Structure 1
Amino acid sequence: MDIGVISVRYGRALLKGATAQQVENEIYEEVQTLLASYMQVPELRFTIDNPMLQRNKKQEILEVACGGNVSELMKNFIALVLNEGREGILLFIANSYISLYRKQKNIIQGKLTTAVPVTPQIEEKMKAMVQANAKGTVEFNAKVDPDIIGGFILEYDTYRMDASVKTKLNNVLTQLKK
């Protein structure tokens, strides 16, 4: 069976259970923490995929990776995933849950990239602008990338506004080469 189909089924089941117990926001935070753990500690994937490691040890490790003091639903879900031997696709399941949760809650991700750090007021204005255009809740991340030289890049949903100096310079160079 396809990994994508399986992960979406597990993600949907977790969201359905979380919604029924009214803990979907808590599970969302735990799943995001799990994803962050996988990104920050690459060895986590190899450890969890290790067939020599006992299931109860994997359970403990995954609970810590979810933030430590996890909800009962998350403990049970991790146990189910481990019992079914699906720990190898846990990362995909987590991504599926996040996507389904965001769709259910009408959450859009926005990202602002600038050459230098911006003030919280400017970041809040950009977030408000995105929220007004997106007609939903916006999870907004600001990132500093000195390589863009100046200006900013704003991204949300399928929209991208590139007002960076780097892009403008590249456009001028392209025009000069013609």
Structure 2
Amino acid sequence: MGAVGRVYAGALFSVAEEAGKVGEIKEQLSLVRDAVKKSAAFRDFLYHPGIKRQDKKRIISDVFSGILDPEMMNFFNLVIDEGRQYFLDDIYREYMEYYRRYRAYRIARVTTAVELTSDEEEDLKTRLEKIFGRKVVVEKEVDPAIIGGMVVRIGFQVIDGSIRSRLEELRAMMEG
């Protein structure tokens, strides 16, 4: 992860902790990040070099008024003033790392070909907590391209139990 994301996330986390809003700021940062990721129009507006920073801040203030806490709005304005809006995804990831340490849990990013049932999710969570010796939060993603099975990412560790990877291994063995 980038140094820019770490610096800005650290500053935001400090402000959030001081205000007693660590969880609220996490949710609001997630909301902003999702808006940037999911809306090409919003992303184009935010990244456009021809739009003045003041205009961006004014429009963002209008759009997010009543949704974002003052601390988050001030942070968003700072990011725009400094021209760091391109790093919002890095800032989000780093903030989540601060938050994870703050809450002392691990995040398991689980990719499956089909949606997990609540029983399957709970069983997976229990197994991962046993393996890692601490609370685990499961973030789910569905990707039919893995065909079946699942891929679990926790930090830098990857457990790839997908059918796609097994087929690729089999193909490599047959060609090799």
TM-score (norm 1): 0.77
Q: 1:88 aligns with which of 85, 90, 94?
A: 85
- Indicate how the Cα distance of structure 1 residues 88 and 79 shifts in structure 2: closer, same or farther if over 3 A, else same: closer
CA contact (8 A) 2:107 2:137 kept: yes
Give the AA of the match of 1:150. G
- Indicate how the Cα distance of structure 1 residues 136 and 44 shifts in structure 2: closer, same or farther if over 3 A, else same: farther
2:7 matched residue in structure 1: 9
Give the AA of the match of 1:85. E
Identity of aligned residues (%): 25
2:114 matched residue in structure 1: 116
Alignment: residue pair count: 173
Structure 1: which 5+ runs fail to align?
none
Q: Equivalences for 1:12-51 in 2 at 5 Å?
A: 12-50=10-48, 51=50
Q: CA RMSD in A?
A: 2.8
Q: Distance in 2 between matches of 1:75 and 1:130?
A: 36
Q: Distance in 2 between matches of 1:63 and 1:17?
A: 23
Q: Distance in 2 between matches of 1:135 and 1:119?
A: 24
Does residue 1:176 correspond to 2:171, yes or no?
Answer: no
- 1:55-88 deviations in Å (ceiling 9; x for gaps): 26524426746x9521121122233334x43343
CA contact (8 A) 2:46 2:56 kept: no
Structure 2: which 5+ runs fail to align?
none
Give the AA of the match of 1:69. I
- 1:99-140 deviations in Å (ceiling 9; x for gaps): 322233334221233333331101111022222323334331
2:51 matched residue in structure 1: 52
- Indicate how the Cα distance of structure 1 residues 53 and 73 shifts in structure 2: closer, same or farther if over 3 A, else same: same
Q: 1:140 aligns with which of 138, 147, 171?
A: 138
Q: Distance in 2 between matches of 1:73 and 1:171?
A: 49
